[in-house]
Chain A
Amino acid sequence: MDPFHNYTSYDIPWWVILGIWSFIAIGLHVYQVGFIVKLIRLGKDDDRFNSWKQRMKEFLTDWLGQRKVVEDKLAGYAHALIFWGFLMLVSDVIDLGTGGRFAKLLEIKLLGNIELVDIWNIIVEIGYTLAGIGILFALYRRLIVRPEKLKGASMEGVLILFAILGIVLTSFIVEAGYMIGENHMNNWEPIGVLFAKQMEGIDSSTLGTIIDASYWIHMILIGGFLIEIPQTKHSHLIGTIPNVMFQDHDAMGTMNPMQTDENDIAVKTDDLDFDNLTLGVNKFEDFTWRQLSDGWACTACARCQDVCPAYNSGKTLNPMQIIMDVKNYGSEHGSQLLAGEEPDETIVDRFTPDAIWACTTCYACVDACPVHIEHVPKLTDTRRHLVMEASEFPEELQNLFNNLERNSNPWGMGAHTRADWAEGLDLKIGEPAEYLFYVGCAGSFDDRNKKVSRATAMLLKEAGVDFSILGEMEMCNGDPARRAGNEFLFQMMAEMNVDNMNSLGTLKVITACPHCFHTIGKEYEKYGGKYEVYHHSQVLNDLRQKGKLEINKFEDKVTFHDPCYLGRIGGETEAPREALGGDLIEMERHGQKSFCCGGGGARIWMEEDADKRVNEIRAKEASETGADCVAVGCPFCMTMMSDGLKEIGDVKPVKDISEIMLENLNTEEV
């Protein structure tokens, strides 16, 4: 039985019909992909065409190896099987399309009786089999398990799965037909043989019809799939390739300056060329090409949505929707955009300001995405537009900006009172020392967090560390202004801080605030300041391990809440735990996967509806551990977790790592 030698009832050769269909399908596919490529090329430059060796390695592990895809076991492995299966079987389309001529080319003797075509046959066979198994798992998940996030999802996913299942099954039927026709069971196609055995005994004209139909269903489905790919979330088949290949090589959480020179150093605020400067994003083409390509790489797997503190507390923001918005905006206004016209609707309109201001910049979405989509920068870039161009932002932020400008701290307390917390501790102020203890605003002005600064300073003194503080010279590191979109204010503060710290000869910095830790350690380099920055838990842990601090094992049951900018973004989850040293009870979401307290991204200074509080969600998780005490390592977590626990009626104390260490300090021997 050979479908290629059958003629249709109109006496048109099969290859003519297939040729026309291929022309339509491939033509539409190429046309649509071309349109998308043109849209993405509207974006601004972002030079990621470097470190090719590293990029190839990442591509092989993340794309081919499906590294992050399989983190979600059921959906991930189902996807990986379909993906690997398709890579193995895709050449079969050429063979079927050329009437078996491709296989003929492979009839080359290799070893004994084994020909190249046999190897190819078994690879394709395994491919179809893996894909088939993957699809069955995926259907099981979508139709029977039905995880919460899939409720309300369209039927598109299921339909496509059935279509792919159709492609797999028809290929086996066609294989079997060949074997029956040639009266030879090809053992290199074992599943085909199984099918053939089932089909034996069917009379030849019925069999002919079945095989013909299977062949054409197979080809129609493949062509249809080609047409569908660029239109739906299946654009990820193509979109993920540049996305994974050109993933961000900067440290997580780092942001781009307004303007950079040829060495990637920020242009000083005094030298900014305002006539040729777009501040933030409001138009489609204000994004970089790589930010735009995210839209077509998204598969709507909703992992970002699952981990987003804003979404999970009922706010307007859904990180997945932001990515969909980029793509849909491009598709809907595509011809206008390509003609250089400006659609009435802007990107900010599409995202909505409510969603833009809801982000805590915790980067859980970016971390969760298997294909390296960068959600957070899209939101912080639109914030830049809203603050610096449009002057439209939550009223509370105006106070924040004024306070930072006048007194260099978010609360607007007198700058001259910055070192009051250290009264009686006899610390070096503004003198050169081995370490600079960069206290930060909360540690300097907030009553609760002043105690943390004192505890940290006392422990450092106890261990004989040579350190000084900046005193009144210290300023906010600028992070609150920056995450709230006021990049200019951030940069002015960064420039002043770098000047101050460099004039002191500072090289090593200790801070108890993960936002200072991140900004001074990872962002200041572009503003002329290169420092070794340590979170206090890292230094205190080191002193403990070296025996310079003797800490008794504590008896309280403690759970540790990882701050985003220390754990997930800062990459440090071990030092705080080892510094604490006791038996910790972990919350389900901890370490890299910790859940934000709700205070990041300048959210701590913005209003939050009482029924949509992120900190209450996290406080409940801490409460459910049954621990006696919640340990934190960030002044904002301190405030948010304390408030959250109070709100849910839990009286357990929230303490900084340094406070717990100080309480358990063995003073007798030292």
Chain B
Amino acid sequence: MDIVVLVKMVPDTESRLEIVDGKVNESGFKYMVNPYDEFAVEQAVQFKEASGGKVTLLTLFSNDTSIDTDLRKMMAIGADEAIVLRQDGYRGDRPSANAKVISGAISEMNADLVIGGVQGIDYYQGATGPMIAQMLGIPHISGVTNLEMNGDKFTAKRQIEGGLQVIDCPGPVLITCQKDMTKVRFPALKDIMMSKRKPFENREVSLNEENDIQTNECSLPPARGGGVIIDGESAEEKVDKLIEKLKTEAKVL
């Protein structure tokens, strides 16, 4: 079973967010592996451990930032190789253009399973995965919470409003993983070191911006107002003051 895992690099959640000219200023960002994709890596490695095959990490990313350490860590979990599509001017908010580049790479790879996270925690669009499936002409199941493999058939479970949906599907198929699909292991140090010997390919790809959505404007959420602590000698006095405030300031009474 050959598995391709879609790994997106997203800004570290603790990065400083600034809006410049209506766009997120990504300079100075530190990047990390999208947490949803970590579940996909772990699940793929578990399938490989159960029935053999190869796990390939596939990433589309910009040209100027090193992500070796992060991807090596994913390889330490058990992935066999990594291919990074390097693109000048890459942005994480263009699902259609990005899906086109990624699906182009996958179509040369003969994958039995393509698996990734349900969405990137940068723009939360959740669109790239299904688009790749469409472009490859294979079925997709999104937001999967549990995935089993029987021969070349997959059984996926999805949480839906008030219930559980169980879907059977033959491979090749594209799966996107919901949170907690499986528990991601912490690789032992020896595995981290061994991962340095695994193949790691950087491949230049060109940018194709036509036929995609355009982000017109971004803004930060309004700053939260500070709370008010009501002072008073006794509980009664505080309650009186609160009622007064609710009447005059909040105008809810």
Residues of A within 8 A of B (CB): 272, 274, 279, 388-391, 393, 398, 401, 406-407, 412-417, 488
- Chain A residues whose C-beta falls within 8 Å of the C-beta of B186 in the assembled complex: 391, 393, 398, 401
**Residues in B1-47 with C-beta less than 8 Å from chain A:** 12, 14-16, 28, 30, 32
Instruction: Please state if B14 and A388 are interface contacts (CB–CB under 8 Å).
Output: no
Residues of B within 8 A of A (CB): 12, 14-16, 28, 30, 32, 185-190, 192-193
Instruction: Please state if B14 and A414 are interface contacts (CB–CB under 8 Å).
Output: yes
Cα-based distance from A651 to B15 in the complex (angstroms): 37
The SS class assigned to the B binding surface is: loop
Q: Using A274-B193, A406-B32 as known contacts, say yes or no to A391 and B185 having CB atoms under 8 A apart.
A: yes
Distance (whole angstroms) from the CB of B7 to the closest CB of chain A:
16
A414 closest partner in B (C-beta): B14
List 22 A-B residue pairs with CB atoms under 8 Å apart, sorted by A's residue number: A279-B189, A279-B190, A388-B188, A388-B190, A389-B190, A390-B188, A398-B186, A406-B14, A406-B30, A407-B14, A412-B14, A414-B12, A414-B14, A414-B15, A414-B16, A415-B30, A416-B14, A416-B15, A416-B28, A417-B14, A417-B16, A488-B192
Instruction: Please state if A488 and B12 are interface contacts (CB–CB under 8 Å).
Output: no
Cα-based distance from A166 to B28 in the complex (angstroms): 81
4 closest A-B pairs (Cβ-Cβ)? A414-B14, A388-B189, A274-B193, A391-B186
Cα-based distance from A413 to B12 in the complex (angstroms): 10
- Chain A residues whose C-beta falls within 8 Å of the C-beta of B188 in the assembled complex: 388-391
- Chain B residues whose C-beta falls within 8 Å of the C-beta of A393 in the assembled complex: 186
Distance (whole angstroms) from the CB of A419 to the closest CB of chain B:
13
Of A389, A412, A416, which contacts B16 at CB under 8 A?
A416
Cα-based distance from A303 to B84 in the complex (angstroms): 59
- Chain A residues whose C-beta falls within 8 Å of the C-beta of B187 in the assembled complex: 391
Cα-based distance from A255 to B63 in the complex (angstroms): 41
Distance (whole angstroms) from the CB of B34 to the closest CB of chain A:
14
Cα-based distance from A414 to B18 in the complex (angstroms): 14
Of A274, A391, A401, A407, which contacts B12 at CB under 8 A?
A407
Instruction: Please state if A406 and B193 are interface contacts (CB–CB under 8 Å).
Output: no
- Chain B residues whose C-beta falls within 8 Å of the C-beta of A398 in the assembled complex: 186
A407 closest partner in B (C-beta): B14
Q: Using A406-B30, A406-B32 as known contacts, say yes or no to A389 and B14 having CB atoms under 8 A apart.
A: no
Interface centre among A391, A393, A413 (most CB of B within 10 A): A391
- Chain B residues whose C-beta falls within 8 Å of the C-beta of A401 in the assembled complex: 186
- Chain B residues whose C-beta falls within 8 Å of the C-beta of A414 in the assembled complex: 12, 14-16
- Chain A residues whose C-beta falls within 8 Å of the C-beta of B16 in the assembled complex: 414, 416-417
- Chain B residues whose C-beta falls within 8 Å of the C-beta of A417 in the assembled complex: 14, 16
Given contacts A274-B189, A279-B190, A388-B189, list 10 more A-B pairs with CB under 8 A.
A272-B193, A274-B193, A388-B190, A389-B189, A391-B185, A391-B188, A398-B186, A407-B14, A417-B16, A488-B189
- Chain B residues whose C-beta falls within 8 Å of the C-beta of A389 in the assembled complex: 188-190
- Chain A residues whose C-beta falls within 8 Å of the C-beta of B12 in the assembled complex: 406-407, 414
Cα-based distance from A401 to B190 in the complex (angstroms): 16
- Chain A residues whose C-beta falls within 8 Å of the C-beta of B30 in the assembled complex: 406, 415
Cα-based distance from A391 to B193 in the complex (angstroms): 14
Cα-based distance from A272 to B192 in the complex (angstroms): 13
- Chain A residues whose C-beta falls within 8 Å of the C-beta of B14 in the assembled complex: 406-407, 412-417
Cα-based distance from A68 to B15 in the complex (angstroms): 53
Distance (whole angstroms) from the CB of B67 to the closest CB of chain A:
13
Cα-based distance from A388 to B76 in the complex (angstroms): 12
Cα-based distance from A393 to B188 in the complex (angstroms): 11
Distance (whole angstroms) from the CB of A391 to the closest CB of chain B:
5
Distance (whole angstroms) from the CB of A210 to the closest CB of chain B:
70
Cα-based distance from A414 to B192 in the complex (angstroms): 25
Cα-based distance from A272 to B195 in the complex (angstroms): 15
- Chain A residues whose C-beta falls within 8 Å of the C-beta of B28 in the assembled complex: 416
